[in-house]
A and B are shown apart, each in its own frame.
Chain A
Amino acid sequence: MNTPVLKLEQVVLDYPKKEAIVGFFKRTLRKILGGKSIAPHFRALNQIDLTINKGEVIGIIGRNGSSKSTLLKTMAGIYSPTEGKVKMDGDISLLSGVGLGMNKNLSGRENIHLYGSILGHSRATMDSLTGEIIQFSELHEFIDEPFRTYSSGMKARLGISVATAVKPDILLIDEVLGVGDPGFKKRSQERIRRMMDDSNTVVIVSHSFGLLKEICDRMIMMEKGSIKIIGTPDDVIAKYHEIEG
């Protein structure tokens, strides 16, 4: 069944170049005087057309600076497109920089609640999930200690555990799967795969082609803000290697 849950129509996104108030007046003055205009922005996304259906797992690859993360943030509604439309159906959650907003002076337990509420969960949801989150993160004896005493691996583990505890309708993942020791890495990948199995829609940006090939239904290769290739994982990866050499 093809039920679209996320649809990008002719999406264009421009990043404005930073300018001081002087630059603004300069540009406005030039416009009024009819001189040559200075491009005030950088085009990060160019005419993106994409429809993602329910239950699909989409992988996005591309070189650094090919606007993969920008595309994901536009899908999440963080950036509003300069032109075109982004439409969605259901709740969207973006996992990017896991542990967003976590505070070093709060305890692990308080940070679970803080991060959970940043992801948009209610108090009741977080109360009911805390036990499970602590268990998955394996941080029982440290959970009431201040977050600053955690090692970076432990911090990441707690972040991943919270981020993957609730299943959103549409999950956007930006390069966050490679944290923790090999054991935890394996378990968190399993957990994310389980989230995917529950017919959730997933869009994932990653450089690990092995993982993408295994889990994706379709793949997209981005180049300079446009969709270069879209197709089956095998095709896209083969073409990527062809282009990149």
Chain B
Amino acid sequence: MTDGFQPGVGNPGKSNLRPFYQKESFIKSPFKLISNLITYKYLVRNLVNRDLNQKYNNALLGYVWTLLEPALLASVYYVLFIIIAKHSEPNYPMWVLIGVIGWGMFSRILNGTVNSLTTNSGMIQQSNIPMEVYSFSLAATQLVITALSMLVVVPFMVYLEIAPTVNLWMLPISILSLMITAWGFGLIFASLNVMFPDVAHLFRFITKAGFFVSPVMWTYEMLIDKAGSESIYFDIAMLNPVVVPLTCMRHSIEGTIPSFELIHVIYAGIFPIISYIIGSIVFTKYSRGVVTRL
């Protein structure tokens, strides 16, 4: 077999050959993911633009659907809850609405990220762009949709005579932490889902069941009321990483400060960071290897 290059012949000293995927310490993964996303920021932008266009372009009401969808959903849950619980808190419809928006974003990003390699298999097999781009652009799209959806809260605030306060600072932070938790957690399982599609089924179940164990139709305050802060059920419920951010979203709109125990605030603050770190390490290590399985 003839081979154009032999060591010692020609100009081997000038060679700058480097392996495609350098073996790097896993500690670098969280930073590598971010630097890849910065390199491909224009692609992320275009993909977000494409997805938003895809979602609303052909619809008669276009972007109105971002507002209509959570509002319709919330009104269904509200009616349901009134029938079951005979609850009559004036702010309750707005609480449900905020819960629906926050939880909806969380579950769509989580499911979307877990499925991100399988749904984009066509592009992944024909292009060597870093694969975290697909799930991140999905998460960014959901972030835009959520930000627009939050506008539907404004008429409720007017009706309930709630004036915006400085506590609104909690809103973007809670939404971001929900996004990072969902994305990071999804990244852990995205590669595994290529090998075993059962993972996607499992996550579809988790997000369906998660709706009921997350404060969407109920609130943190109701939980303390019914279960009491000493009960084991309360402790178990607080393991759910979305309880604190969803509650913070509500309070930021109402202009109040939620009364959490310090440990729960720390847990809620650390959870997205740990999810992202583990997610980026697992994703960097395994995602390229499963491409041949797509």
Decide if A and B are genuine partners. Answer: yes
Judge whether B266 is part of the interface by a CB distance below 8 angstroms: no
CB pair A73 B125 closer than 8 Å:
yes
Interchain CB contact (< 8 A) of B123 among A118, A227, A231: A118
Once the chains bind, are B53 and A89 in contact (CB under 8 Å)? no
Known interface pairs A73-B125, A78-B124, A100-B126; A3-B14 also in contact (CB < 8 Å)? yes
Decide if A117 touches B128 in the complex (CB within 8 Å): no
User: Which residues of A are found within 8 Å of B14, using beta-carbon distances?
Assistant: 3
Task: Point out the residue from A3, A85, A113, A120 that lies within 8 Å of B40, measured CB to CB.
Answer: A120
B2 touches A231 (CB 8 A): yes
Q: Of all chain B residues, which has the CB nearest A41?
A: B292
Is the beta-carbon distance between B293 and A18 smaller than 8 angstroms?
A: yes
B25 proximal to A (CB < 8 A): no
Q: Are B126 and A78 in contact (CB under 8 A)?
A: yes
Contact B58 A105 (CB under 8 A): yes
* Given the contacts A80-B289, A86-B19, A126 and B42 also touching, CB distance less than 8 Å: yes
B84 at the interface (CB under 8 A from A): no
- Please tell me if A71 contacts chain B, counting CB pairs below 8 Å: no
Q: Given A16-B292, A52-B4, A120-B40, are A89 and B57 also a contact pair (CB < 8 Å)? A: no
Nearest-neighbor residue (CB-CB) of B53 within chain A: A105
A2 sits at the interface (CB 8 A): yes
Cα distance, A101 to B21, chains bound together (Å): 24
Interface size on A, residues (CB 8 A): 56
Residues of chain B within 8 A (CB-CB) of A56 are 4
B155 within 8 Å of A (CB atoms): no
CB proximity of A145 to chain B, nearest CB, Å: 14
Among B10, B46, B53, B129, which residue has the most Cβ atoms of chain A within 10 A? B46
Is A87 touching B19 in the complex (CB atoms < 8 A)? yes
Chain B residues with CB below 8 A from A78, complex form: 124-128, 291
Interface of A (DSSP majority class): mixed
Other-chain residue from A86, A92, A113 in contact with B46 (beta carbon distance below 8 A) = A113
Mark out the residues of chain A between 1 and 44 whose CB falls within 8 Å of any chain B CB in the assembled complex: 1-5, 7, 13-16, 18, 20-21, 24, 44
Closest Cβ of chain B: how far from A144's Cβ, in Å? 14
Binary CB contact string for chain B from 275 to 294 against chain A (1 if under 8 A, 0 otherwise): 00000000000001101110
Interface positions of B from 1 to 58, Cβ below 8 Å from A: 1-5, 9-11, 14-21, 40, 42-43, 45-47, 49-50, 53-54, 57-58
Task: Please give, as numbers and ranges, the residues of chain B lying within 8 Å of A21 by CB-CB distance.
Answer: 196, 198
CB pair A110 B49 closer than 8 Å: yes
B292, A13: Cβ atoms closer than 8 Å: yes
CB atoms of B21 and A117 under 8 A apart: no
Contact status A100-B123, CB under 8 Å: yes
Residues of B within 8 A of A123 (CB): 42
Residue of B nearest to A96 (CB): B126
Given contacts A3-B11, A16-B292, A94-B126, contact A85 B19 (CB under 8 A): yes
Contact with A along B195-239 (1 / 0, CB 8 A): 110100000000000000000000000000000000000000000
Report chain B residues within 8 Å CB of A114.
46-47, 49-50
Q: Which residues of B contact A88 (CB under 8 A)?
A: 17-18, 20
Q: Given the complex of chains A and B, what is the CA–CA distance between A123 and B45 in angstroms? A: 10
CB-based contact B128/A77 at 8 Å: yes
Which of B19, B20, B21, B288 has the most chain A CB atoms closer than 10 A to its own CB? B20
Q: A153 to chain B: which residues have CB within 8 Å? A: none
Interface pairs A-B: 5 shortest CB-CB: A2-B10, A51-B5, A117-B43, A87-B17, A77-B20
Q: Which residues of B contact A (CB under 8 A)?
A: 1-5, 9-11, 14-21, 40, 42-43, 45-47, 49-50, 53-54, 57-58, 122-129, 195-196, 198, 288-289, 291-293
| Pairs A–B under 8 Å by Cβ, sample size 29 | A2-B4, A4-B15, A20-B196, A20-B198, A21-B196, A53-B4, A53-B5, A73-B126, A76-B128, A77-B20, A77-B21, A80-B20, A86-B19, A86-B20, A87-B19, A94-B126, A97-B126, A100-B123, A101-B127, A103-B50, A106-B50, A106-B53, A114-B47, A117-B40, A120-B40, A120-B43, A121-B42, A123-B42, A230-B2
A2-B5, A114-B49 given; name 16 further pairs at CB < 8 Å. A4-B17, A50-B3, A77-B21, A78-B127, A78-B128, A78-B291, A80-B288, A87-B18, A87-B19, A94-B126, A103-B50, A105-B53, A117-B43, A121-B42, A122-B42, A227-B1
